[in-house]
Each structure stands twice: as C-alpha cells, then as structure tokens.
C-alpha cells in the first residue's frame, strides 16, 4: 500500500452520529386524561396544540417540557382559528376608510383631531365586535 493512503472504515460500518431530533420547548396549560394543551411562541406569536401527555419530557428550565417537532406538527391545534371563522372581520382597509371619513388623513391629524380618532377606533371596534357576535349566532343555530 502507498504511504499516503488513509485507512477506510470497513464497508457497512459507519461512524455517523445519530441525528439529533428537533424538539420544541413548551409549557403546559392544562392536562386532562391522556392529553395536554401546550403553548409555545413561534417568533412573537403564541401557539397552542393538544398533545399526548406521554410524548412530553421534562425541559431544561423549570415548568417547561420538550416535545419532538415532528410529533407536535401532527397534533391538532387548540383554540379558534379566528381568521377562518371571521372572514368578514374588518381589516386595515376598513380602518383606513373610517379614519378618512372622520377627516384623519395625515399623522398630524392624530394630534389635532383626538375626538375624531377615538370615534374612528370605536367604530372600527364595533364593526369587529358585531362580526364576532354574528358568527356566534350562526354557530349556535347551526
């Protein structure tokens, strides 16, 4: 054998390390039976899912648990999908329309037209509240 050749591992014997499983650190919200509602933050957005309690392991910090990401992805979401339930909820375009109807066209208008601005926010809020109440009525009668 030439001197510059390196030893090759025997065929079929790999020294690869086992792949580290991706985990998500969660907190427990509530447990009932064999299920637990867990919460974690995805960027700055809180998320919740219902997971099998037996899939949770103690986390590194107090009151935290870990769960494999692939397991978490398969679990059902917890909570109402508001965007799907309330497609008629007013959006930013509606807020813009209300502000302009009340004479608020520039940033300076916020400082000089406080009552109009507060009225616009109240009107926008009322439209959203009505959409929520309407969806509850539809759901109750379904």
* 59 in a structural domain: yes
Q: Determine, yes or no, domain membership for 55.
A: yes
Q: Which domain holds residue 28?
A: 23-79
* CA separation, residue 71 to residues 59, 102, 105 (Å): 16, 50, 49
**Ordered DSSP codes for 22-76:** PEEEEEEEEEETTEEEEEEEETTEEEEEEEEGGG-EE-SSTT-EEEEHHHHHHSP
Judgement on whether residues 34 and 60 belong to the same structural domain of the protein: yes
Domain count for the chain: 2
pTM of the entire predicted model: 0.58
Same domain? 117 vs 96: yes
Residue 13 lies in a domain: no
pLDDT in tens, the chain (142 residues): 455 555 555 555 556 666 778 999 998 999 999 999 999 998 878 999 999 999 998 888 888 999 999 999 999 999 877 777 777 777 888 888 888 888 888 888 878 988 898 999 899 888 888 888 877 665 554 4
Rg (CA), the chain: 27
């Amino acid at each position: 054998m030439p001197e510059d050749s390196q030893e090759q591992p025997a065929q079929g014997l790999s020294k690869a390390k086992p792949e580290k499983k991706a985990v998500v650190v969660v907190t427990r919200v509530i447990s009932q039976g064999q299920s637990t509602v867990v919460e974690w933050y995805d960027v700055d957005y809180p998320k919740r899912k219902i997971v099998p309690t037996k899939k949770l392991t103690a986390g590194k910090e107090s009151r935290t648990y870990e769960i494999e990401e692939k397991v978490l992805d398969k679990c059902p979401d917890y909570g109402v999908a508001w965007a799907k339930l309330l497609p008629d909820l007013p959006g930013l375009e509606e807020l813009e329309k209300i502000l302009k109807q009340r004479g608020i066209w520039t940033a300076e208008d916020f400082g000089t037209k406080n009552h109009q601005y507060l009225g616009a926010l109240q009107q926008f809020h009322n439209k959203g509240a009505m959409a929520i109440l309407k969806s509850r009525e539809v759901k109750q009668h379904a």
